[in-house]
Structure 1
Amino acid sequence: MKRSTLPTVTFSVTVFFFLLLPLSTTALGSSSTYAVVSNSNTVCALISGEPTQHILCYNTRLNTNFTLNPGVSFSSIAAGDNFLCGIRSGGYSLLCWDNIGSYYESLNPKRIYLNDTVLLENLSIGDTQICATVNGTNTVKCWRSDVTTPENEGFRSISSGVGFSCGVAIRNQRVICWGRDPVKSGRIQTGFGNMTMVSVYAGESHACGFNTTGNLICIGNNVKVPLNLPNEYSKVSLGSNFTCAMRNSNGSVICFGDGAERFNNVTDKISFESISSGLSLICGLISSNLSVMCWNPSNFSRIFLPFPEILPGPCVVESSLCSCGVFPQSDKLCSGSGSICKTCLSQIPIPIPIPSPSLPSPPQSPVATAERSKALRGGLLAFAIVGSVGGFAGMCSVVYCLWTGVCLGKKKVHNSVQPTITRGGSNSRSNSSPLSRSITFRRQGSMRMLSMRRQRSGTSSMKHADKAEEFSFSELASATGNFSLENKIGSGSFGVVYRGKLDDGREVAIKRGEVNAKMKKFQEKETAFDSEIAFLSRLHHKHLVRLVGYCEEREERLLVYDYMKNGALYDHLHDKKNVEKHSSLINSWKMRIKIALDAARGIEYLHNYAVPPIIHRDIKSSNILLDSNWVARVSDFGLSLMGPELGKDHHPHRPTKAAGTVGYIDPEYYSLNVLTDKSDVYGLGVVLLELLTGKRAIFKNSGDVEEDCVPVHLVDYSVPAITADELGRILDQRVGSPELGEGDAVELVAYTAMHCVNAEGRNRPTMTDIVGNLERALDLCGDSHGSISSGICSIVSDRD
């Protein structure tokens, strides 16, 4: 009796799992709110916030937008080899447009279905075949194909590939396939065999689906499926020999097959609402701003489409139909004409076998049921008591470990940990986040204890984090000739920088905090000092300046870095000693683009690969240093703060006051005091403009008379010229006119810079986009062919 009762409970849980799995996910030819026309790489989407949910298309080859039937609302669309179809809102009509790839002023649709009583849903299109299910009966109808479709069979999920279509039958949850290519459809149906499936998605020569335990199963040619746990993925999209799946946990996307894996380091950092594919193009709807990003496994290109916000789902009139709630701002997205249902989050089923329908569970007596319930409650209570005792003991062990210092060791080093960010106007440090853990430790010569916060994962970001050396003040004074003026090479966020040579012969740069008796200055110096140590001691990247060590004695605070032989980028561009040197190594467009790419890679590391992410807050040309090999490195982390983890926390920082440098500081951050990683993007955009024009971030524009010399912001000077296609008149004359290939590269850098300095942070590209553009620009310097669009497009390549 006990054996027969538990599986019965499991069966109900598993059925609940079936019902929660999303069915409207997209494959090569499944319907969505956006679709890819394969042969022309045209992407069409349903636009939100309009009185009608009309279709807007973008041809990636012609860089052209065009609208289809602007006065008609559609609930979903799907695309084939060179055509697009859409089901009108209400499901009573199906319209199709042919020759989408050849852009015309007017494309007239063909109505291939009209019935006010038999409504359509679940549109599916492969290369030429069009199929849809009928609302209510879930039977399938197909057009533009003389192939016999399954009769009197209801389907819970259908999808079409090249030459075949497949569906999951409601009666037995088996996959059934049909189409003009009987060999392919038969092979895929046979591959799924008797597996019970929840959904199916078709590609060019393969199909994938979720089985009843939540695992992703793929059948067909050239299919490589990574190991996956039950319910790890929720949405799938297939194309030509590749498969992309969206994770349930955070909405990120992983792709495999046909070279698509190369983008996983990018899509793993972004949260998507959905994904959709053509034969060679993958697109995803980004959750944060409902924009569409597409990438191509064949040529490794990536582009953000110039669309307004896209509908994340169809607008339905009855919000009561939304069993898992309504999508945020649905009323605005549907322009008051309906609501968008939120996708249900499925739960992992309990891994217990489903009982055979031919062996029903014997009836249970009320007494036996009550006894089992009592026993179950007693077991759970015992489990809770034991768990509580164990948890309390564990907490005591941790407290003892931290209190005695056994866990911390005795070496005087800064470990690879993250400082707690002070909020509000207080100068004290606190751990306000329930997820963070703090540790304290003492240093010789100081009774101050620095509270540090570990990463959310509870481990260091590096397996073997380097540890900063501790120097004595006398060592560093000796290394710099007692901080002589002749060894002074610059200044940083909290002090003066000197060149020095240690006793072991190492050349270093030593930053000495300004000694000031005023408490406020001392506290500011402490904050910058702590930030630099905490960040740089755990950051390891070839385009970030490396921290060698530190000194902390009484009121002296010093930091020791690798020496950058070729100084700051600012000096090469603007210092009077270097301005007249036309033979300078950086007076070539290729070198300037390389320096920009180096710096961008360093910032990209901070934003995307540091855990948690870091916002620099003071990106400028004087903080981009050049080593002996002219490799650029980002420096000065005295103003840096931890940023929100991508896909987990979209709340911006609100520091006590805006910080940065005039001319480089993000105007949105300065005026609203809202900090995001896009503030660093703005600063880098100004640096890119410096590299292009050779002018300072703020410079005086000479007029006819001396009184007309007024300060001009480099953004105000450069952007109008770039927009008007007059880039040539603002380029730095010291570098000379770019060659043909260089001209394309310089133009791409200019357009990238223009987008970086957009007044609104949400309209700026990410650092990954910028790195991709600069990589492409550097490649173009040695290539005399190719054209550059003003849109933000980037090529993702392997990082160094």
Structure 2
Amino acid sequence: MTCWGPGWSNNLGSDLPLGMIIPGPCVKTQCSMCGTYPNSDTLCHGSGTICRSCQVELPIALPLSPSESPPSQNLQPSSRPGRPLNRLSLAFVIVGSVGVLVGACTVIYCLWAGVCGRFGKKMNDSAQVQQEVAEASNVDPSAQHPRSVTFKGQSSGSLNCDIVGSCPSKRIDKTEVFSLSELVAATSSFSPENKIGSGSFGEVYFGKLTDGRLVAIKRGKTNMRRKKVQEKESAFGSELAVLSRLNHKHLVGLVGFCQDEDERLLVYDYMSNGSLHDHLHNTEAIGATSKILSSWKSRIKVALDAARGIEYLHNYAVPPIIHRDIKSSNILLDSNWTARVSDFGLSLIGPETDQEYVSSKAVGTLGYIDPEYYVMNVLTTKSDVYGLGVVLLELLTGKRSVFRIEDELAPIGLVEYVGPRVLAGELTTLLDRRAEPPTTNEARAVELVAHTAVRCVNLERKERPNMAEVIADLERAYSLCEESHSIFTNPTFSFLRNE
């Protein structure tokens, strides 16, 4: 043995001699066929011999060819051919087996605990909500049998929960549960005289509750084909899941709901001034005079209100919500002419603002649906921006999203008709003649809204503004209109009034 370090020199005299070490115990019995260890008599001082070990240990268990097999292998008794495992290999096998067993047990326990935990929590939450509803209506909670509905639309899949227990308890306290008889009485048995609108999944009726509140009641269609029934259930669940957790002055408020057999009804705040679509395209339903039609300031105010409601869905709802069906018929006006976004039956509780959502099927309304979403099934918040852009063009021109030009057989989309003309500087020939000729500042405001609308309906979503940018432009346009009260003439814009 050679030692080195401080105080040691490298001379040959530094080598320390070691005595011989006995390689095994001294025994007096005769050794087996492996023989005795050389010089064992001297090592045992004549009191016995040291037997040679028949097992050769290797530091790493490697497969050996027959020619490389150690000589002692053939001397090891075994019930099968081949080299036996050494102690190091056996240790690896034991440790690996224990690790696999522990890992499998951990995974099984986590799965069992997760499923049972969610199931227990769901049962507890459902029982608590049923108890609250029962106490409010003096009904025995054991008599409640809420049916399960799947709420579609989350970016990670779907939200499964009971209808009564679908929303957080803080919001459930504000969402009433109505009986079918209450809503039948409120609408005079859903009489045609009370019908104020319709959609793909049902009709909307005006109603008056027993406490005097005026409401709008959306009733899902009955006796539908199985596919339509599933779509109705999905729309009902989606709208209930979204509106029960939102509260904003530019979104239609949900009062409550009713679920009875195959009946699905949603109860909303009543919007006494109807929809923007009726004001622009259905004057028979609204009447000869409309505050929205006569004033550019009022039109821009409606657009600004709707944009603020959509921005709330995109940027302030947690998680964000994509409406997917922004159009003029889904923008309603309350008694104060405040615009509110409605109809969340196609909405998705989706990804963050800058993320994409790949849907299995593009849905929306012809003339308003985002072309990139329609073709590629890739949905983002910019799809709602596109729909709002079409609504802005409707407000400016008074034309429908898809319309016919005189002497033309095929209809044309509003975007394809207006976009190129706005960029060519022909805005004055496109404006709705039912509005008063714009003053100087109003003309600047209208031009700003037109260019914002054209940006919103860009075919490529990356070229469209987000809702915050749209609101900034509309706020500037509205401020220009407010500053124009003292201006009565405008030499730049002159219009021929329709007689």
Same fold (TM > 0.5): yes
What amino acid sits opposite 2:357 in the alignment?
P
Is residue 326 of structure 2 the alignment partner of residue 619 of structure 1?
yes
Within 2, Cα distance between the matches of 1:442 and 1:486?
30
Establish whether residue 628 from structure 1 lines up as the match of residue 335 from structure 2.
yes
Which residue number in structure 2 is paired with residue 659 of structure 1?
A: 363
Partner Cα distance (2:340, 2:349) in 1: 20
2:178 is the counterpart of 1:471? yes
1:493–1:636: 8 Å Cα contact kept in structure 2?
Answer: no
Aligned position for 2:152: 421
Whether 1:697 aligns to 2:401 is: yes
**Following TM superposition, by how much is the alpha carbon of 1:440 offset from its aligned partner in structure 2, in angstroms?**
3.6
Aligned partners of 1:653, 1:441: CA distance in 2, in Å? Answer: 27
Query: Is residue 744 of structure 1 aligned with residue 444 of structure 2?
Result: yes
2:302 corresponds to which letter in structure 1? I
Amino acid corresponding to residue 317 of structure 2 in structure 1: A
Distance in 1 separating the partners of 2:422 and 2:194: 41
- Structure 2 counterparts to residues 10-89 of structure 1, below 5 A: none
Are 2:429 and 1:724 aligned? no
Question: Given that residues 592 and 691 in structure 1 are in contact (C-alpha distance below 8 angstroms), is that contact kept between their aligned partners in structure 2?
Answer: yes
The equivalent of 1:593 in structure 2 is 300
1:587 Cα offset (Å): 1.6
Q: Measure how far apart 1:616 and its partner are.
A: 0.6
For the residue of structure 1 that corresponds to 2:462, the secondary structure is helix
Tell me the residue number matched to 2:236: 529
| Aligned alpha-carbon RMSD (Å) | 3.2
Q: Which moved more, 1:669-678 or 1:771-780?
A: 669-678
| Match status 1:675 vs 2:379 | yes
Partner of 1:498, secondary structure, is strand
Contact 1:466 1:538 in 2 (8 A): no
The superposition leaves residues 396-443 of structure 1 with CA deviations (integer Å, 9 ceiling, x where unpaired) of 666544345577432349xxxx975369xxxxxxx966xx9x664476
What does 1:336-735 align with in structure 2 at a 5 Å threshold? 399-405=119-125, 408-410=128-130, 411-412=132-133, 420-421=151-152, 440-441=161-162, 467-577=174-284, 581=288, 584-646=291-353, 650-654=355-359, 656-703=360-407, 708-735=408-435
Give yes or no for contact 1:492–1:511 (8 Å, CA) kept in 2: no
Q: Secondary structure at the match of 1:781?
A: helix
Task: Return closer, same or farther for 1:730/1:405 CA change in 2, 3 Å cut-off.
Answer: closer
Aligned residue type for 1:712: I
Post-superposition offset of 1:635: 0.4
Find the residue that maps to 1:508 and give its secondary structure: strand
- d(CA) in 2 for partners of 1:596 and 1:744? 16
| Partner residue in 2 for 1:366 | none
Q: Distance in 2 between matches of 1:419 and 1:522?
A: 13
Query: Percent same amino acid among aligned pairs?
Result: 57
Cα distance in 1 for partners of 2:187, 2:453 equals 39
Query: 2:469: which partner in 1?
Result: 769
Q: How does 1:106-505 map to 2 (within 5 A)?
A: 399-405=119-125, 408-410=128-130, 411-412=132-133, 420-421=151-152, 440-441=161-162, 467-505=174-212
Alignment partner, residue 39 of structure 2:
none
Per-residue Cα deviation, 1:336-371 (whole angstroms, up to 9, x for no partner)? xxxxxxxxxxxxxxxxxxxxxxxxxxxxxxxxxxxx
Counterparts in 2 of 1:652 and 1:404: CA distance versus 1, 3 Å? closer
Query: How far off is 1:518 after superposition?
Result: 2.0
Higher relative contact order, structure no. (Cα contacts within 8 Å, ≥ 6 residues apart): 2
Cα 1:684/1:544, change in 2 over 3 Å: same
Cα drift, residue 585 of structure 1: 4.5
Kept in 2: contact 1:692–1:750 (CA 8 A)? yes
Distance change in 2, residues 1:464/1:486 (3 Å) = closer
Tell me how far 1:579 sits from its aligned partner. 8.4
Between the aligned partners of 1:711 and 1:406, the Cα distance in structure 2 is: 51
Q: Distance in 2 between matches of 1:464 and 1:488?
A: 29
Letter in 1 for 2:454: M
What corresponds to 2:17 in structure 1? none
CA change 1:730–1:393 in 2 (3 A) is closer
Q: Pick closer, same or farther for the CA change 1:442–1:775 going to 2, 3 Å.
A: closer
Does the residue aligned with 2:390 lie in a helix, a strand or coil?
Answer: helix
**How has the CA–CA distance of structure 1 residues 592 and 503 changed in structure 2, closer, same or farther, with 3 Å as cutoff?**
same
CA contact (8 A) 1:545 1:561 kept: yes
Q: How many residues align?
A: 366
Q: TM-score, normalised by structure 1?
A: 0.43
Tell me, yes or no, if the aligned pair for 1:402 and 1:408 is still in contact at 8 Å: no
2:3 is matched with none
Maintained 8 Å contact 2:151/2:237: no
3-state DSSP of counterpart to 1:561: strand
Unaligned runs of 5+ in 2: 1-102, 135-148, 486-499
Contact 2:321–2:348 at 8 Å: present in 1 too? yes
Paired with 1:393 and 1:439, the residues of 2 have a C-alpha distance of: 19
1:22 maps to which residue? none
Partners of 2:452 and 2:172 in 1: CA distance: 35
Deviation, structure 1 residue 463: 7.0
Task: Check the 8 A contact 2:152/2:238 in 1, yes or no.
Answer: no
Q: Which has the higher strand share?
A: 1
User: Aligned partner of 1:491: which letter?
Assistant: S
Deviations 1:231-265 (CA, angstroms, capped at 9, x unpaired): xxxxxxxxxxxxxxxxxxxxxxxxxxxxxxxxxxx
For the residue of structure 2 that corresponds to 1:557, the secondary structure is: strand
CA distance in 2, matches of 1:509, 1:466: 20
CA distance in 2: counterparts of 1:515 and 1:599, whole angstroms: 32
DSSP 3-state at the match of 2:482: coil
Deviation track 1:646-667 (CA, whole Å, cap 9, x = no partner) reads 36xx23232x321111111111
Aligned CA distance change for structure 1 residues 687 and 432 (closer, same or farther; 3 Å): closer
CA distance in 2, matches of 1:569, 1:536: 21
